Structure 1
C-alpha cells in the first residue's frame, strides 16, 4: 500500500506541475526540462568511457552544500566524470553551466522506469545525494546494481516519517544507502534508533564552502562608493513577508544605518513598492552611478549571484525566508562575522540553532522586536566583538567536513596511484 501511495504521489506531482505550468514560471521550467530528458541524457552520455560519479542536489541550497565535495572529489579522482542533477529549476537554471561538473541535468521523476533508464544511461560507479534527497526507485535501482550510495551533509529531525510508527516503507529507503555523513549528532542518533549504523558525524560541507568564498571574495566598487564610512545592514534573500517587518525598521534607522537589500526573487513590482515606500532614499544597483550613489540610504540589488560577495560589507545582516517556508543561508553572512537577524521559523537549520544559542543570531517576530533587539546589540561594543569572535571560532571549528568525507570514501573508492 505504501508503494502505491508513493507512486501515486509522484505521478500527482508531475500532473500538478503540468496543470500549473501555464500560470507558474517554476512549474513551466520543470515541465519543459522533463521533455525528452532521458533521450537528451542518453545522447550526451553516449561517448563517455570514463567512470562516473553522480551527485544529486534538490536545489541551489543543496548544491552550495555539495559544491566543496564535488570540486575536491574532482581533484582527488581526476579520472572520474561528474554528473550533477537537480530536481528544482532554481538549482538547474542557475547552475546548468557549472564548470565543476562534466554533465548537468534535471533529474527525471522518480518512477521505476525512469530510475532504471537513467542509471543505465549514466552508469555511475558511485552516487552522492546531498542533505535531504531520499528517492525510492533511484535508491532501489542503485542498490540492485551494487552501486555505492552516500548521503552527505545529512540532517534529520525526530518528527520526520522515517522515525514514526508506520514509516517502515520510508525507513527501507534509508537502509539502501551505503553510508551517511551527518551534520549533527542528533541525526546519527535518529538513524541508530531505526537500526542504521553506517553513519559518521562529518559536519556541514557548507562551512568549507563559505570559507572558500570569503577567502576569494572580490571588492565591489559601486558598493564601496555607496557605503563610504557608514554602518551597513545587508538584507539577503528577502521575501515580501520579510519586507513587511523590515520596512518600518528601515524607516526608523534611515540616516544612521545604510541598507543593501537583495531580494530572493527579482520582481520589478516589488522593487518599485520598496522604492515608493522609501521615497527617494533607495536606488537600484543597475541604475546607480559611483558619483551619486553615496547620497542614497538603500541600495536595491536587481541582479542574481552577487549576494555572497555583498556580505563582506555587512556590519549587520538580516537573512530572509524565516517568515515563510524556511530560512535561507545564514553561513554566507556569518563567515564575515556580523550579528544576524531573521524571522521565527529557523528550527530546521542546525547552524541557525547554533548561532542563536551562542548569542550571535537573533530571531524576531515583528518590526518592534527587530528594532529593540538591534538597538540593544548595536549599542554594545563588547557584545559586538564577542559575536564576531564566537562566529569565527564556530565556523573554523566546524570546517573540514569535505576532507573527512573524502578520507572515509577511500574504503569504497581507492585513490588512484600516479
Structure 2
C-alpha cells in the first residue's frame, strides 16, 4: 500500500468511525423515545442508567476481574458451560456478567455464575472508556455476536485479552461488506475466535483474520449437561399419568393456532399436551384457553384433580421449559411458523425425542442437520402438521428411532468447551 492509498484508507476509516458513533447517539435517543411506549425497552433504558453505579458499588480498584458478555438469554445459555469452567479456574476473580437485552438480564440478574450482573452501556467512546476503567477485565468472553467496536477497541488499547466463542458468521453480514470497516476492525481486537463451523472460519480468513479455531457450538455441551441434573417435576408426573405426551415449547400465536386446531380435533385417546408459550401475559394465556375445546389447566392454578382430568397443561411461568421437555415423547418447537425466529431445538433433542418445527428455519444449521438425519420434521401448514404428528403418535418404532437420531446428534457434537478451556489454560 503506497502513501496515497494509506491516507485514503485512514480517511475512510475515520469517516466510518464517525458515522458509527453518530449512529450510537441516535440509537440512544431512539431507545429513550421508544421506552415511553414499550415496557421491555424501558427496562433496558432504566437498567443502563444504573450500570456504572452498580459497578462502582461492587468492584474495588484492586479487584481481579473477568467479564462475560451475552446479548440475551440464549447467548447466556450458550456460554454457560464455558463460564462455569472459568469460574473454577479463576476462583479469586470477580466476574462481571453483562446483557444487552432485558430478556437476558431480567431472567438471569441473580445468576450464581457472576458477582455482578449489569446491562451493557451503549457503545459510545466515553462510556466504553468508563466501563473498561471500572471493570479492568483480565479476560473478556463475548458469546456468538453482539460485537461493540468502542468497547473492544478500548480493551485492546489497554492490552486486555478478549475472546469470541461460538461465533457464527454469514456472507451477507456487515463485516464482509465494503462499508463494514468499523465492525471488521472490531473483529481484529479479539485475541482468538472460536467458530461453530468451517463456513464461519472461511469468512474470517477471507478478510485476513486467521486466529480461528472451529470448536463447534457450546450449546451442545450446555444441553448435554441437563441430563446430569434432576429434571423431575412431580406435578407433570401427575398430569402425564403414563400417557403419551406432546410438549410444545416457546410457541407464538402462529404455532398455537396449528396446535389448538389439532388438539380440538384429536381422535387419539390417552394423548396429553403441554404448551409453553413464549408470551406468558395473561391475555395470551386466556386466549389459548378460550380456543381449546378440551379441559386445560394452568401451572399457576394447578391441583391434583385438575391435573389428572386435564388434556392440556399450559406453562404460564418461566424457567422450567428445559425440564418440561424431559416429559415429552414428541416435541414441537415454536418460532418457525412465523418469522420471530426458531427457538432452541437442542433442548428437546437431548432427551431423545422427535421434533416438529415450522418452515422458516434457514438460519438454524442444527435444524437443517436434524432434518437431514430424520430426527426433525418441518411443516408448512395444518395438513402437514396433522399428518406428521399422527404418524409419530401411531408409529412407536419410528418415534423412538427419530428421537435416537437426535440424541446421537447431540452427543457427536459435544466438545467445544474443552477446546476453548484448553486454549485459555495456555
The TM-score by the shorter chain falls in which range? over 0.9
After TM superposition, give the deviation of residue 95 of structure 1 in Å: 0.7
1:31-52 deviations in whole A, cap 9, x for unaligned?
110224223312221x363321
Report whether the alignment pairs 1:379 with 2:394: yes
SS of the residue corresponding to residue 115 of structure 1 reads helix
After TM superposition, give the deviation of residue 157 of structure 1 in Å: 1.3
For structure 2, the residue ranges without an aligned partner over 5 or more in a row are 1-14
> 8 Å contact 2:353–2:400 — kept in the other structure?
no
After TM superposition, give the deviation of residue 201 of structure 1 in Å: 0.9
SS of the residue corresponding to residue 24 of structure 2 reads helix
Query: Which of 394-403 and 239-248 deviates more?
Result: 239-248
Instruction: Give, in whole Å, the separation in 1 of the partners of 2:217 and 2:121.
Output: 27
Report whether the alignment pairs 1:357 with 2:372: yes
After TM superposition, give the deviation of residue 297 of structure 1 in Å: 0.8
1:151-182 deviations in whole A, cap 9, x for unaligned?
00111112212123333332111111110111
Report whether the alignment pairs 1:167 with 2:180: yes
Report whether the alignment pairs 1:90 with 2:103: yes
Number of the residue aligned with 2:259: 246
Pick aligned residue for 2:350 from 310, 313, 335 = 335
Matches within 5 A, 1:297-312: 297-312=311-326
SS of the residue corresponding to residue 112 of structure 2 reads coil
Pick aligned residue for 2:40 from 14, 26, 40 = 26
1:182-201 deviations in whole A, cap 9, x for unaligned?
11111111111111110001
Query: Which of 139-148 and 74-83 deviates more?
Result: 74-83
Number of the residue aligned with 1:4: 18
Matches within 5 A, 1:57-72: 57-72=70-85
TM-score by length of 2: 0.92
Instruction: Give, in whole Å, the separation in 2 of the partners of 1:281 and 1:227.
Output: 14
Query: Which of 17-26 and 108-117 deviates more?
Result: 17-26
Question: Please, what is the CA RMSD of the aligned residues?
Answer: 1.6
> 8 Å contact 1:140–1:173 — kept in the other structure?
yes
SS of the residue corresponding to residue 291 of structure 1 reads helix
Report whether the alignment pairs 1:282 with 2:296: yes
Query: Which of 56-65 and 133-142 deviates more?
Result: 133-142
Number of the residue aligned with 1:266: 280
> 8 Å contact 1:255–1:297 — kept in the other structure?
no
After TM superposition, give the deviation of residue 146 of structure 1 in Å: 1.2
Instruction: Give, in whole Å, the separation in 2 of the partners of 1:120 and 1:111.
Output: 14
1:279-310 deviations in whole A, cap 9, x for unaligned?
34211112121133121110011111110110
Instruction: Give, in whole Å, the separation in 1 of the partners of 2:284 and 2:392.
Output: 30
Number of the residue aligned with 1:414: none
Pick aligned residue for 2:237 from 199, 218, 224 = 224
Instruction: Give, in whole Å, the separation in 1 of the partners of 2:153 and 2:199.
Output: 26
Pick aligned residue for 2:340 from 325, 329, 333 = 325
Query: Which of 117-126 and 167-176 deviates more?
Result: 167-176
> 8 Å contact 1:241–1:324 — kept in the other structure?
no
1:29-82 deviations in whole A, cap 9, x for unaligned?
01110224223312221x363321110000000000011111111112212221
After TM superposition, give the deviation of residue 254 of structure 1 in Å: 6.0
Report whether the alignment pairs 1:100 with 2:113: yes
Report whether the alignment pairs 1:40 with 2:79: no
Report whether the alignment pairs 1:154 with 2:167: yes
Report whether the alignment pairs 1:296 with 2:305: no
Instruction: Give, in whole Å, the separation in 2 of the partners of 1:14 and 1:290.
Output: 50
TM-score by length of 1: 0.94
Number of the residue aligned with 1:393: 408
